[in-house]
Structure 1
Amino acid sequence: MCELFALSSKISTNVNFSLNIFARHGSVGGRTVDGWGLAFYDGRDVRLYKEPEPAGQSDWLSFIEQRKQLSSLVLSHIRRATQGGISLSNTQPFMRELGGQAHVFAHNGNLAGIGQRMAGRWKRFQPIGQTDSEIAFCILLEALSPLWAGGAVPSVAARRSVIQGLAAEFRELGPANFIYADGDALFAHGHRRIQQDGMITPPGLFWLVRTCGASDELAPASGVRIGIGDTPQALMLFASVPLTDEAWNPLQEGELIAVREGLRIYDPDMP
């Protein structure tokens, strides 16, 4: 299955990837990488890099590392194709505009028959490629559109309600782990994934909180390096499998977590 990673932080930080290492971390049977993508939020917009080929063959990663791109909201996806051919249009993360904000989505799993079973649930937002993941994203944005129509950022509670309801429908079709950001908050949903024993069971995502300064080598063995520096920092990380030997927390089956500036949003009524 695919690999997901997301970071939310209080202070913008430098995140670099060795994606060929990251792709092997937690993979079952060393399957071929069919594409990769990185999304770095920069204000209301996003620097999106993605290619429909193995990361080890890409010159883009050297370019990204040399730029030392700073961001407080980062999403990454390593693709192992299940639906749709190997092409740029089928490579995640996907990005669309809604309410004057850049929205980014990446999914891990296989939502069998979503195009037929949820036909007619997307109108304004149309898929460019052929993946189940992009259809799910279009359906999600269509459902969220009324909340963004007023010109202001809707409450987390309202957004969470819509996302949680759709996530439950997605789970009926297959593994539905996803990370979704709208420029204000990051939402992570855990379900099931292929485990090392080959069984499809929970957990599908893990999370970790860091709230203090640390070294520039947060998780080098997993292919992810995060430059934290000396300033006290709040970080929340999500990954398909734990990236370090620390005590990562598994998301429960069907659990949805909302995060802003590196801190989990517990109060459903928080704006």
Structure 2
Amino acid sequence: MCELFAMSSRVPATLGFSLERLARHGGAEGPHRDGWGLAFYEGADCLLLREPRPASESPLMQFMEHQGLRTKLGLCHIRLATFGALALRNTQPFARELSGRMHVFAHNGDMPTLADLQAKHPARFSPVGDSDSERAFCGLMTALAPVWDDVWGEVPDLTTRLAVIADYARELRALGPANFIYSDSDALFVHADRRTQPNGQLSAPGLYLLQRYCWRTAPELQEAGVNLCSIRQDVALIASVPLTDERWEPLGEGDLIALRDGLCFGADGRQVEPERVAGRQPMPLA
């Protein structure tokens, strides 16, 4: 199966340490040699980088590990192909525009009968490649499109979006493992399901969550004339498997959460207070 990674933070941060750990699984320490992709958000737009080659052997990935952009919202995927050819068109994350925003999606799991589900939905969005993951994304976008059409130029209510995603995810789970991360630039939505575990069993957890906060200096604010020497940084990380020796929280089968500015919101749209350890941080925030 593929591996997913995502970050949501209060202030922009780099992903270098986590990317380096994840890239090792993309060929050097794992079988995920069939492609990788990164999405860095800046407001409503995002920079999308993808290659149908092992992440551990990619000079571009190595460059992003050391010189990557600062972002408040980033997604990453390393691929172990099960459906679709080894090609750029099947390399995740996938992206589509809707209501003037870039929407990005990455999936881990197998859903061979997904075409049957898509027959229920109008084909407003169509896949470029032939993977089940992109089909899942197109179906999700089709389901969400009316919500965004109703508030063109604005962001729909978080609970409304969560409800649509929950209904669609429920259908996906019936077809096979459906771990996915999806962002509409405003929030990062995380749906956890089952995953093939080291013992060969298909079971939860399919994703893990790590939430931390720390205080960091802010020289860029001083340069802008703001008299503030430090700011609080909230960070939430999502990964298919823990990337550090910290206390990652396993998500249960069917769990759906939203992350915004490093904070976590449950399926009802209410903020979930994380367990916080002062003075610790999940990743370098340089």
How would you bin the TM-score normalised by the shorter chain? 0.7 to 0.9
Q: Superposition pairs for residues 30-69 of structure 1, below 5 Å?
A: 30-65=30-65, 67-69=67-69
Asked whether the 8 Å contact 1:155–1:270 carries over to 2, the reply is no
Asked whether the 8 Å contact 2:194–2:202 carries over to 1, the reply is yes
Asked whether the 8 Å contact 1:213–1:233 carries over to 2, the reply is yes
Partner amino acid, structure 1, of 2:191:
H
Higher-Rg member (1/2): 2
Which residue of structure 1 lines up, in the alignment, with residue 279 of structure 2? Answer: none
Distance in 2, matches of 1:20 and 1:184, equals 27
1:142 aligns to what SS in structure 2? helix
In the TM superposition, what is the alpha-carbon distance from 1:5 to its structure 2 partner?
A: 0.3
Which residue of structure 2 lines up, in the alignment, with residue 163 of structure 1? Answer: 165
Distance in 1, matches of 2:266 and 2:251, equals 14
In the TM superposition, what is the alpha-carbon distance from 1:87 to its structure 2 partner?
A: 0.4
Which residue of structure 1 lines up, in the alignment, with residue 26 of structure 2? Answer: 23
Distance in 1, matches of 2:162 and 2:82, equals 28
Distance in 2, matches of 1:103 and 1:143, equals 13
Q: Superposition pairs for residues 238-249 of structure 1, below 5 Å?
A: 238-249=238-249
Higher relative contact order (CA 8 A, sep 6+): 1
Asked whether the 8 Å contact 1:155–1:269 carries over to 2, the reply is no
CA deviations on 1:198-236 (whole Å, 9 max, x unpaired) are 111111000010111379xxxxxxxxxxxxx96420000
State the aligned residue count.
Answer: 255
Point out where structure 1 has 5 or more consecutive residues left out of the alignment: 216-228
Asked whether the 8 Å contact 2:27–2:57 carries over to 1, the reply is no
CA deviations on 1:79-119 (whole Å, 9 max, x unpaired) are 00010010000000000001111100000000121013432
Partner amino acid, structure 1, of 2:188:
L
Which residue of structure 2 lines up, in the alignment, with residue 255 of structure 1? Answer: 255
Which residue of structure 2 lines up, in the alignment, with residue 182 of structure 1? Answer: 184
Percentage of matched positions with identical amino acids: 48
CA deviations on 1:17-76 (whole Å, 9 max, x unpaired) are 225314369x8xx42510000100011111111101112332212432454301000000
Distance in 2, matches of 1:193 and 1:68, equals 29
Point out where structure 2 has 5 or more consecutive residues left out of the alignment: 218-228, 272-286
Distance 1:78 1:51, change over 3 A: same
Asked whether the 8 Å contact 1:37–1:49 carries over to 2, the reply is yes
Which residue of structure 2 lines up, in the alignment, with residue 127 of structure 1? Answer: 127
TM-score w.r.t. length of structure 1:
0.88
Q: Superposition pairs for residues 62-101 of structure 1, below 5 Å?
A: 62-65=62-65, 67-101=67-101
Asked whether the 8 Å contact 2:25–2:56 carries over to 1, the reply is no
Distance in 2, matches of 1:259 and 1:253, equals 18
Asked whether the 8 Å contact 1:122–1:138 carries over to 2, the reply is no
Distance 1:250 1:267, change over 3 A: closer
TM-score w.r.t. length of structure 2:
0.84
Between stretches 169-178 and 31-40, larger displacement belongs to: 31-40
1:198 equivalent to 2:200? Answer yes
Partner amino acid, structure 2, of 1:208:
L
**Root-mean-square deviation (Å):** 2.2
Partner amino acid, structure 1, of 2:84:
G
Distance in 1, matches of 2:117 and 2:143, equals 16
Distance in 2, matches of 1:76 and 1:132, equals 18
In the TM superposition, what is the alpha-carbon distance from 1:164 to its structure 2 partner?
A: 0.3
Distance in 1, matches of 2:120 and 2:239, equals 32
